[in-house]
Structure 1
Amino acid sequence: MKSLKSIVLLGVCTALAGAPAAAAEISSTPIAGTRLDVSATGEVMRVPDQATVSAAVVTQAPTAARAVADNARRMSAAIQALRGAGIAERDIRTASLSVQPQYRYADGQAPVVTGYQASNSLSILFRQVDKVGSVIDTLVAAGINQIDGPDFTLADPEGALDAARTSALAKARARADLYARAAGLKVGRIVAIEEQGGGSPVRPVPMLAMARAEKANTPIAPGESKLAVTLSVVFELN
């Protein structure tokens, strides 16, 4: 019957057999005792403090010139509304602009142009999440007729990720202590640490339904976002 120590060492060898090529450099590090590879994930929850919204004006007209002119007038009003709401110029960016013909299709006949559609889309960064709802209402009143978002993020994700890294390393050490005790050994030193990934995406939020101009203060709930970091840690057991 195999001893517990033999089982633990067999598991370590099996894990090493399937390790990626990136771990080759780690294996060259001299280890006097027994090598143990541990993977652990640290997670933190944070409330998003900024949001991005896509707001577009889509217009249709018999001619391209009229569709574009209509679109420009409504988008200019929307940008002015954003400025009036206190959104800084640096946080307003044109994301896309297009003019496309619209066709009518019939069996056995060539497509016929029936008009033109112009689209102008803005990407708006909100540094104050509590302003998103009221500004969306203002945009709709100004002529915006297509909204996508909000996409909630953190202004300083690295601070949260550092907390997740610390948690992951603590979990890896606790797991190494567990294996060491089971094998009748002690954790000596950390030979190598490899980060497997950054933060997980912020929890997605469904697209907002179009708000009516007469309904102010569209409710916005940022909730909490989970950020996670996975570490692969190589320990030396003595």
Structure 2
Amino acid sequence: MSYFSYPPFYRSTPPSQLSTPQHRTVTVEGRGKVTAVPDQAIITIGFVTENEDVNKAQAQNAKITTQGLAALKEINIQQEDIQTVSYTIQPIYEFTEGSSILKGYKVQHTFEITVKNLNQVGKVFEAVVAAGANIAENIEFVVSNKDLYYQQALQLAIKNATEKASSIGQQLGVSMNTVPIKVTENSTAISPRDYTLSLSAEATLQAAPPIQRSKLEIEAIVTVVFPY
């Protein structure tokens, strides 16, 4: 009969007990900002009608809205650049001696109009107001290629973080590795306030006011961890 002898079993050393170099780290925030000139405007404008009869209020609103859309078409504003943002029907009550009496209905149809030629902003206001628009809320200036500017700002943010890490390394007297081990994007965009144009349903606008567009600031913020 033959007997075989097996070698003793040796357990390998757990990874946690292996000797591995431990890196210390520094975490910094980097910011990058670029300035862009707006090339488009978004105008919020609406049509309001009131009548004792809800159906008549809706019909009147549909009429002036159709006139407004036709006026926009005449100045070459494309259909895809006109979006409905709200359509509301509200009852109008008169409160007297502790009771409320239904007096009629208010219908409001509000649009966002994207104007891709900023020289047309004034013409858009004049056209829709002449057609019956009686609500003008605000103008927002935007850039059509925001992503391009944001990428530039992001590069500046990374550069800013790297420069900060190098400066900290010099102050500490250590060799900072400028290749990060972690980058977190905490992005935001800074824009000027929207231009507000207040026009009530009872008011009329004889001509569009002169509107000066302001520059946009697009900012990127990153949190970066560097080893040393």
Q: CA deviation at 1:130?
A: 2.2
What is the RMSD computed on CA atoms of the aligned residues?
1.8
Per the alignment, in what secondary structure is the counterpart of residue 208 of structure 1? strand
Distance 1:61 1:168 in 2: 57
Correspondences of 1:35-184 after superposition (within 5 Å): 35-109=25-99, 111-184=100-173
The structure with the greater share of residues assigned to helix is 1
Larger Rg: 2
Q: Which runs of 5+ in 2 are unaligned?
A: 1-19
Per the alignment, in what secondary structure is the counterpart of residue 113 of structure 1? strand
Distance 1:192 1:166 in 2: 15
Distance 2:193 2:36 in 1: 14
Distance 1:31 1:40 in 2: 28
- Cα deviations by residue, 1:119-155 (Å, 9 ceiling, x for unpaired): 1111111112221122111111111000112112221
**What residue in structure 2 maps to residue 17 of structure 1?**
none
Q: Does structure 1 retain, via aligned residues, the 8 Å contact 2:41–2:141?
A: yes
User: Which 4+ runs in 1 deviate beyond 3 A?
Assistant: 30-33, 209-214
Q: Does structure 2 retain, via aligned residues, the 8 Å contact 1:161–1:198?
A: no
Distance 1:31 1:155 in 2: 49
Q: CA deviation at 1:62?
A: 1.8
For residues 48 and 31 of structure 1, do their structure 2 counterparts lie closer, same or farther at Cα, with a shift above 3 Å needed? Answer: farther
Q: Does structure 2 retain, via aligned residues, the 8 Å contact 1:130–1:220?
A: no
- Cα deviations by residue, 1:8-38 (Å, 9 ceiling, x for unpaired): xxxxxxxxxxxxxxxxxxxxxx975431111
Equivalent AA in structure 2 for residue 221 of structure 1: Q
Q: Which runs of 5+ in 1 are unaligned?
A: 1-29
Q: CA deviation at 1:83?
A: 0.4
**What residue in structure 2 maps to residue 232 of structure 1?**
223
For residues 221 and 69 of structure 1, do their structure 2 counterparts lie closer, same or farther at Cα, with a shift above 3 Å needed? Answer: same
Q: Does structure 1 retain, via aligned residues, the 8 Å contact 2:135–2:198?
A: no
Distance 1:77 1:218 in 2: 22
Per the alignment, in what secondary structure is the counterpart of residue 97 of structure 1? strand
Q: TM-score, with normalisation over the residues of structure 2?
A: 0.83
Distance 1:149 1:129 in 2: 15
| Identity of matched residues, % | 24
Distance 1:231 1:98 in 2: 42
Q: TM-score, with normalisation over the residues of structure 1?
A: 0.80
